[in-house]
Amino acid sequence: MADDEGSMIRRRRIGILLRSYREAAGLTTAQVGKELDCSGAKISRVETAKSPAQRRDVRDMLDLYAVSDEQRQEVMDLLRDAKTPGWWDQFSDRLPKKYSTFIGFEADAAVCRTFEPLVVPGLLQTEEYARATIRKTLPDATPEDVDARVEVRMARQQVLTKDDPLSLRVVIDESALRRQVTTPQAMRAQRRRLIEAAAMPNVRLQVHPFDRGPLACTTSPFVLIEFREPTDPKTVYIENAAGDLYLEKPGQVARYKLVFEELTADALGADATVEFIKKIDTET
pLDDT of residue 6: 44
Q: What is the rounded CA–CA span in Å between residue 148 and residue 146?
A: 5
pLDDT of 238 higher than 50? yes
Gap between the Cα atoms of 175 and 170, Å rounded: 14
User: Is there a single domain that holds both residue 94 and residue 65?
Assistant: no
> Band of the pLDDT at 158, cuts 50, 70, 90?
very high
3-state secondary structure of 119: coil
pLDDT tens figures, 96-152: 888 888 898 898 899 999 999 999 999 999 999 999 999 998 888 999 999 999 999
**Confidence band, pLDDT 50/70/90 cuts, at residue 203:** very high
Domain encompassing residue 62? 2-81
Residues 55 and 173 in one domain: no
Q: 225 has which bridge partners?
A: 112, 235
Contact 86, 104 (CB under 8 A): yes
Q: Whole-model pTM?
A: 0.82
Q: What percent of the chain has pLDDT over 70?
A: 94
Q: Which of 81, 111, 142 marks a domain boundary?
A: 81
Verify that 40 and 91 share a domain, yes or no: no
pLDDT band (50, 70, 90) for residue 7: low
- List of residues 6+ apart from 49 with CB closer than 8 A: 8, 11, 12, 14, 15
Pair 166, 117: CB distance under 8 Å: no
Residues 20 and 76 in one domain: yes
Same domain, 100 and 136: yes
Q: Enumerate the β-bridge partners of residue 206.
A: 171
Looking at the structure, do residues 114 and 219 belong to the same domain, yes or no?
yes
Q: CA angle at residue 11 from 242 to 95, to 5 degrees? A: 35
